[in-house]
Amino acid sequence: MPSNVYHVPYSKTTLEFALPATMDVSMAVSQPSEPVKDFRAAIAEALAQPIGAPPLRALAQACKKVCIVFTDITRASPDHELVPALLLELEKAGVRDADITLLCGIGMHRPSTYEEKVAKLG
């Protein structure tokens, strides 16, 4: 039975796999977009003026404890930029560092190593 070979982004590389030609396959492909010119300013604006929700600083004022979940090394998310911005907002809301937990959301992946967490958060 002939098969079709697919390549999908995964971490800093791609995964290659084959599916039988008899399978009905649809692939979603992201469209190119303009990069954000000032990433830190965009994060600050999103935290100050979120869509359809109060700002994080306002929400956090009533919190006694906070948990920030960040992605594991397999996800291309700029956690090294996002987490410090979240921590700054929490500080401005009066949340103490001792009341903040950082949690690496691994899902079904293996546990992250210390080195991988440093690579994600700096």
CA angle 11, 15, 19 (to 5 degrees): 150
Q: Quick one: pLDDT at residue 80?
A: 93
> How many whole angstroms separate alpha carbon 72 and alpha carbon 119?
10
Domain-by-domain residue ranges, the chain? 58-122
pLDDT at 2 over 70: no
Instruction: Give tens-digit pLDDT for 54-68.
Output: 999 999 988 889 999
> How many whole angstroms separate alpha carbon 47 and alpha carbon 31?
25
Question: Could you tell me which residues are beta bridge partners of residue 6?
Answer: 17
Instruction: Give tens-digit pLDDT for 71-83.
Output: 999 888 999 999 9
pLDDT band at 29 (very low <50, low <70, confident <90, very high): confident
pLDDT at 106 over 80: yes
pLDDT at 1 over 60: no
Region label for 107, one of left (φ > 0), alpha (ψ between -120 and 50) or beta (otherwise): left
SS3 105: strand
Residue type for position 74: T
N- to C-terminal Cα separation, the chain? 48
Instruction: Give tens-digit pLDDT for 30-44.
Output: 888 999 999 999 999
pLDDT band at 9 (very low <50, low <70, confident <90, very high): confident
Q: Quick one: pLDDT at residue 95?
A: 95
Task: Give kind and range of the element (H or E) at residue 81.
Answer: helix 79-92
| Reported pTM | 0.72
